[in-house]
Structure 1
Amino acid sequence: MKYASLDEFLDRGKAALAKGPVALIFIEDEVEIDTTLHHHLQCGFASVVALMPDSFALGAELDQAVHRVGCDSSFPERVFDTVNRVIDAAPGIWLYYCYNAEYLFYPFSENRTVGEMLAFHTEERRDAMLTYVIDLYADDLGASPDAVSLERAHLDRSGYYALARPDPATDHPRERQLDFFGGLRWRYEEHIPKTSRKIDRIALFRAAPGLRLLPDHTFNDQEYNTYSCPWHHNLTAAICSFRTAKALKTNPGSTYDIPTFRWHNSTPFEWHSRQLMDLGLMEPGQWF
């Protein structure tokens, strides 16, 4: 299932958006494309859409499993525009977006599908879910110069914090909204633009008329940006991502300043939702 452009996909691929949840995977480079797509297929998404240049290779078994859409995802504004166009084309459908070398985890994801989780979340009258982007990195940059290694992946077990999110109109904190920080974006903030230092992303959400994804990974509907409803804690999820480590080690302005990402709070990543819940990096809410 291959489409030359987003226009063609939205014209001929309407069936892929008829039932959710739908995963939109933006492929920026050729790192871990197949593992990213396989991971999200295993999560149980009804459709997985790979938005990628025609020159990038895709495993033969994935050709029939995913919807491949011609797109240059290296331009941030194109990513946001694409998500917003899919929102317009799929009202009422749960959507998810991430990049290659990023892997979604949610509470009990080893034996429950993402659709089951979102069905529960919908029953709690929630239309969006907060996800934390948790930085992964290889422990040996000599063996993995691009900082990507599935077998030797590490993460920070502490060093995460949140600040109140002010409303620009009143300068008072927004209700049930926080800006979250930590990981490599915090430890190497001198190499990260201020506008890119947050680790929160509303990556799971239900499309609605007029809804718009903004360049800071929030939405124009403020209720979508909340971490929970007013009466109790809700589910949250985590996107375990090599994206920041990869960028820091491929950027000439930062690569020579970073001989290793390891520090005293590094721990091997176990590729299991229980570890993320134990570390407080996602919340099961009322779902057991």
Structure 2
Amino acid sequence: MHYTSVRDLCGKGARHLAKGPVALIFAEDGVELDTTLRHHLSLGFASVIALMPPSFALPDDLVKTTVRVDHDAAADGHIDAVNRIIDAAPRRTWLYYCFNAEYLFFPFCETRSVGELLAFHAEERRDAMLTYVVDIYAGDLDLHPGAVALEDAWMDKSGYYALARLDPENNHHPKDRQLDFFGGLRWRYEEHIPWRRRNIDRISMFRSKRGLRLREGHVFSDEEYNTYACPWHNNLTAVTVSFRTAKALKRNPGSTFDIPTFKWHNSVRFEWHSRQLLDLGLMEPGQWF
């Protein structure tokens, strides 16, 4: 299943958007693209769509199980593509987006599917879910100079915090149930990260609806989509573990020579299991037991 553009997908390939949840994987480069696609296939998404340059190759098994769309995320970004897909999808279809070398984890994902997760979330009258982007990085940069190694992945166990999200249209008062979250490599190496890109919150799971727009900063035009919980109790949250920041810091000539290692006294080996993220308080099971 191969489409020549996002427009082609939304027209000829609209059937792939007809039933959610749908995963949109944007390939900024080829690093761990195959493992990213396989990981999200294993979570139970109804469709996994790889938006990638035509020059990228996929293994035979992924050619058969994923939907391929020609799209250069490194040059053209992801916002316009997500918004086109929102318009093309049936209303109230669950969509998720991430980038290559990123992996979704949610409470109990080893035994429950993403469909079960979102069915429960919808029962709580929620149309979007906050996913924290938790940086992971190779422990040995001499062996893995690109900072990506699944078998040697590490993460920060502390250093995460939140600040009130101020509303410039309301005398800079805090927005209701919205916070800016920080931590990980974007916090430790903030001198190399533009301040508008330092937060680690991303509304990456959401329901399509007419007129909805994804905006810069991984937030939406509907302010309720940007909240972390309903007014009554805590809701489910999830985590996207990501090599993306580590890759960028080691690829950037302005930062790579300042970073001989990402490991510090608060680094722990990433166990590739939701229990670790729950124990560290990096995601919330809410009322889902």
Shorter-chain TM-score bucket reads over 0.9
Q: Distance in 2 between matches of 1:72 and 1:54?
A: 8
Q: Distance in 2 between matches of 1:52 and 1:144?
A: 24
- Please give the residue correspondences for 1:183-262 in structure 2 after superposition, counting only pairs within 5 Å: 183-262=184-263
What residue ranges of structure 1 are gaps of 5+ in the alignment? none
3-state secondary structure, aligned to 2:77: helix
Q: Deviations over 1:92-146 (max 9, x none)?
A: 1000000000000000000100000000000000000000000000000000000
Q: What is the CA distance between 1:217 and its match in structure 2? A: 0.6
Q: Deviations over 1:176-212 (max 9, x none)?
A: 0000000000000000011110000000000010100
Q: Distance in 2 between matches of 1:148 and 1:257?
A: 17
Decide whether the 8 Å contact of 2:49 with 2:69 is kept in 1: yes
Tell me what 1:50 maps to.
50
Q: What is the CA distance between 1:78 and its match in structure 2? A: 3.3
Q: Distance in 2 between matches of 1:61 and 1:228?
A: 38
Tell me what 1:111 maps to.
111
Tell me what 2:181 maps to.
180
Q: Distance in 1 between matches of 2:257 and 2:72?
A: 28
What residue ranges of structure 2 are gaps of 5+ in the alignment? none
Q: Distance in 2 between matches of 1:124 and 1:215?
A: 27
Tell me what 1:165 maps to.
165
Q: Deviations over 1:24-52 (max 9, x none)?
A: 00000010010000000001000000000
Q: Deviations over 1:60-92 (max 9, x none)?
A: 1000100000000003x6310000010001121
Q: Distance in 2 between matches of 1:7 and 1:269?
A: 38
Tell me what 1:79 maps to.
78
Tell me what 1:125 maps to.
125
Tell me what 1:67 maps to.
67
Q: Distance in 2 between matches of 1:216 and 1:78?
A: 13
Tell me what 1:2 maps to.
2
Decide whether the 8 Å contact of 2:133 with 2:241 is kept in 1: yes
TM-score when scaled to structure 2? 0.98
Q: CA RMSD in A?
A: 0.6
Tell me what 1:99 maps to.
99
Q: Distance in 2 between matches of 1:286 and 1:175?
A: 21
What amino acid maps onto 1:143 in structure 2?
Answer: L
Tell me what 2:282 maps to.
281
Q: Deviations over 1:218-275 (max 9, x none)?
A: 0010000000000000000000000000000011110000000000000000000000
Range with greater deviation from structure 2 (10-19 or 237-246): 10-19
3-state secondary structure, aligned to 2:65: coil
3-state secondary structure, aligned to 1:155: strand
Decide whether the 8 Å contact of 2:7 with 2:84 is kept in 1: no
